[in-house]
Structures are given as structure tokens and as C-alpha cells.
Structure 1
Amino acid sequence: MKRFGLFAIVIVIISALLGLGVHQLNQASGQGDAAKTLTIFNWGDYIDPALISKFEKQTGYQVKYETFDSNEAMFTKIQQGGTAYDIAVPSDYMIQKMRKAKLLLPIDHRKLKGLGNINAQFLNQSFDPDNRYSVPYFWGTLGIIYNDKYVRADEMQHWQDLWNPKWRNSIMLVDSARDIMGFALVRDGYSMNSTNLSQLQQAAGTLNKLAPNTKAVVADEIKMYMIANEAPLAVTWSGEASEMLAGNSHLHYVVPTEGSNLWFDNIVMPKTAKHQKAAYAFINFMLEPKNAAQNAEYIGYATPNNKAKALLPKAVREDRQFYPPAAAMKHLEVYADLGTKWVQQYNDLFLEFKMHS
């Protein structure tokens, strides 16, 4: 969620479980019948707390909820095996990495109810062919958010527009090597998954020329700056942009037509899962259109669930900023797991850029 390291710890308080009164739910909770427990590992603030309460009341399962702030932190904790998580929500490239590391259980599609609600274009992705290990949760894009008090719409439609000297010390960038190196690669006409060293070095040179226009490379602070009209431009993810647009009517989000990142966060079952029946119950619960729509309204990210999308307000489901048309979707790339060597190369070149900024 995207995606590469955000959000605060969520503590969900739930009352009236099975008529027994009030109980508290937090990371350290060990109360309740262990056989009726579901342990979830998710990004912070990435589910409507009311849905956790509803799931518990409907099923009798007690949810233990823990959060992470980056795919890498999630991977390390699951790999260490200290906690037997039943559900986790990694991003696309990390699902591929977890598969290779044999950290995931295959999902039995015969136990799923509602997978047919998912739009076919979000299934059978390269990171998980035939969805053997994952079920789509949310999806989104990487794009540019601009403030119309300072930027005209025709001035900000393409990645190249960011390099205009007019925007000196004006652009906020999300602190993510793959994303920032990625749009520089697209600007130079290359794949966001390039493993060609000369292409990467060229993109790094291109990116270094953006340094004078870069105001800061940050994470959550982007929301504060943009909502408060303290920066005219930012590069961020669609879900974050959605929150910003809700807080400032002068903000707009655009996905450059020449290409960008299409990301997915999917539900998986780690190999250490002890409560698989509960895990399937939760997946099916989240596949229900009403629940998925409620979650999408709360989070602000795009739902892959067609029937859930149909339940969203018309202004939301027809918003081309967050549900791009098919023509734009064709030019979007999903990140692949490039392996340690190339990930380090991206990180090193990005670090060099940050030192220039």
C-alpha cells in the first residue's frame, strides 16, 4: 500500500462479541479461544475497523491484528517465523519474492466464494499466475498530483513536464527507489523493470537533472504539504492522492499516458498459518461486494471487485483519475521481483540522487 512503507499502527477495539461483553483487540492480545482466532498482518490503516467487528460478530472468530510499514519488513518478520500469521497483504513484486522463498500456502479456489467478482484484468498477473497464492485486495497507480493554484492542467500531463525549470524547488517525491527510478526510466523510454545497467545509469543521470526541481524526498509528509498548499507538485500513489484530493479541492491526480506503475496489494496465506479455516472465511468475507465497497470507501483506493465498484458512488466509480480507462491501463507496468543484485542497483542510484537533491 502501497505501498513501500507508510502508515501508523492501527488498534481495533471491538465490543459485544457473542454477547459476552466488551473485549479489546491489539497486537499483544492473547485472549480468547485459540482455535477461534485469526491473526492478520496488514499495512496500517488498510481496513475499515468496522469490518473487523462485523467479521467477528458474523463468524465468532477473534481477530488479532498487526501492522507493517513496508513490504520488506513484512517479508523479514514472516521469514523469521516468530508469529504464525494466517493472513498477510503484500504487494505484487513481494508476492513473487515470497513464492520463490516458499513462504506462502497455495490457495484452494474450491474454498473461495466470490472470486468471480474480481475483474479479470486483475487476475492471473505475472507475479502470481492463476492466482495460486493470492487474492486481489486493492490496486492503484503511480502518478503526479498538482495544485491548480500554481499549475495548469496542460502543464502537467507527462513525466517530462516535471523537468521544466519553472518547477524549481517545487516537487515532492515519495521516498521509494523503484518508483522514482521507475518514472525516470519511463521518461527515457525504458521499462520500469529494466535490468540493463546502461539504461539504469542513463535514468539515474536523467533523475539527477531533476534535483533542482525537487523540494523534498519524503513519505507521509507529502499529504500535509499538498493539502496545505505548501507545494505545487508531488509524485505519489493513487491512494495517497485520493486522501489529498479529499482535503483540498485544488488538487488533481494524473497518470502520464506514456506509462507508469500498476500496483496490487493481494491477500495471501503465509506458510505458518495455523487457522486456515478462519483465513478462508476472512477472504470470502472480503470478497463480498458490500464489504469490499465499504472498505474501498473507507480506504480510498481502487477496488478490483466489479460488484463492489458498482455499489460505490457514481462520482467515485467514474473518476478516471483513480479508475483509468482501458487505453491508459495498457501502458501501465507491474513491478517484478528483480532479485537482490538489481534491487541494490536501484537503491544505490536512488541514494545518489537523494544526495544531489
Structure 2
Amino acid sequence: MDDKLYWVWLSSIPGIGAVKSKKLLEHFQSPYNIWRAEEKQLIELDFLTNRDVHNLVSNKIKEDAKKHLENIFKNDIKILTINDQLYPPYLKHIYDPPVVLYVKGSLKKDEKYLAVVGSRRATSYGLSMAQTISRELTEYGITVVSGMARGVDSYAHKGVIGAGGRTIAVLGCGLDIVYPYENKNLMHSIIENGACISEYLPGTAPLAGNFPARNRIISGMSLGVIVIEAGERSGSLITADFALEQGREVFALPGNVCSLKSAGTNRLIKEGAKIITSIEDILEEININFSDENIEEFFEKNILDEKFFRGLNQEERTVASCLKNEPSNIDLISKKTGFSVQLVSSILIMLELKGIVEQLPGKIYKLKY
């Protein structure tokens, strides 16, 4: 039986999301072994509920997986598992990576990704800047990731395509569905110039709850997230939050302080996001020269483990990130962040109380790895 069947089955089981799938793979080593597991073996796993166990041994769900596989091939969709070489390497390191990605188009092993996201109801300024920044990133060989939503996302993809570059759209529905429908031609162009990817099986509708989960993939596969324009409740701020939890850089384009549509991005800047005034602001912060050989080193040395980010606000994350490579003092942290010495001092006190940093002799601070 095709090995892909077991991966499709694992990704299709109700209640078994990315985290539980990852734990099951760690325990059983392969989807095939999970498929063959007996009920008594599954009951012993404390992270599974009775409903999970029932679904894992369900013959109906296994038969349905065969139909899903046929539908995937019928729609010319590729199945990319977390063990495949083309699986985005940075995505593997997030807390909850999808064990299967469904792909239309092509991914490349050596691609370097940056995400460009923003408001669905962007101003002409936001749309223009999304297109311009994405086009300029393409000129540096960077692949732009976005969500193919209306507004900023669509213009980011268009900027890349117009420049002859590569772009990836991460969808919150099955790849046999065009959402929004007016992006039908854009979706075809994205597939020709990169790929559309999703963790959802064909036939999955674009339900509202799918999009926050989709956003963790956009940020997780990228070196950083560029927020072009966002209101206070914009979904792109969720992507920025995921980026911070995943240890990625967050950039924000400043906007009119009187415009509600820039309230979100202006707040990100106030809280420590890197301000964008030119493409150089992005390139200076992002090392785009990682090789496959030192990806592991990148994660070990240059970004904080996610557990250090969870529960921290953006100012705390910004200060903590200054201690990634070596201990530092308050004055140096103040210079790096632009925060006042008084603010840095109070943030460090909070980080000490939360067990994130510790103070060494001479008022030097270090992370408590």
C-alpha cells in the first residue's frame, strides 16, 4: 500500500492536529506504525483522549483516507511530508508543524522565505508598498510568502509575479478551492511562479477558524514577517504574534498616525518591531545566506526557543532577543532597542520574575537556557 496513504490518513483524523500527530510520530516512528497500532497501545498514551483513540482505530476513517488520496491525485496535488527534503526547513522547528503539506506548484530546497502580510482593506498606499517591497525582495532572490487574501496579500504576490520571481501562497482551505474566487487567475500565476500550499485536505472549506492556524505556517516557514498595513484587529497581527513566538523577526511599515488602517502596524513599531523605510532595513536584519548545513546552527544559536517567547509581550521579547548571542548590560540593551534605560530596567525585572533572564555580577544579564 502506498506510503502516502498513511500520511494522508494521519492528517485527516478528527481531533488529531499537528501537535498530537507529532507526538504520535515520535512514539511510533512512522504513520504506518500508527495505522497498525492496537487500541491498548494507544490508550496508554496520556496525550490522547478516548475520542482520539476511537478515531485512530476507526476503519471508516481509514477507508475515507483512500478516497482522500484518490481525490488528491485527481486534483494534481503533491503530498509533502515533514520527512521530505523539500519540506520548508524552518517550519520543522516550530512548536506545531503540520506533518503533511499539500502542494500545487513547486518548492525548492534552497529557498529563503520572507512573509509579506497586511490588511484585506488596505489603502492605495498599503497596496502600492506591498507590491514594491515584494518586487524588491525578489531582486535579492528572496521568495515571498503570503496568504492570497484580498488586499495586501494579493498585491504582494502580484509584485513578485510581475518581477518574474517566486512566491508561495499558504491557504486556509483545500487546494481545489479558490478563495477568494476573484483570485482565480492569480492562483494560477502563483502556481506557475512558485506554489500554493495548505495543510488542509482537498474539499476543506475556507472556514474562519482555519486562517489563524494558516498564519503560523506563513510565519513559521519564513525568516521574518513584514507587516505592511494593519488595523488594531487585523489578522496579520496574529501572524506577527506567531512570528515572535517562533523567534522570527517582525518588520512593520509606518503609516499615517491618524489612519485606523495603520493603527496595528504603528503599534507594532511602538512595541519594538523593526521599522521599514527601505528594503535595506530588512536586509540588514535578516541573514539570507544560510546553507542547508547550518540551518540547525541557526536555530540553536540565533533564535530563542519558543518557550521563552510564550507569555511575553512584544517589549519583553525585544529585550530578551538582545541576549540571544551573549550576556549584556542595561546600557547596551537600551542602545540596541531604542528603549530608555528606565524601561529596559523594568522589563528586565519582569523577565527575571518570569524566569527568562538572570542577573550576573556587574549588572550583566543573560538568558536562562
Pick the TM interval, shorter chain. Answer: under 0.3
Q: Which has the higher contact order (CA 8 A, sep 6+)?
A: 1
Question: What is the TM-score with the length of structure 2 in the denominator?
Answer: 0.25
Higher helix residue share: 2
Structure with the greater alpha carbon radius of gyration: 2
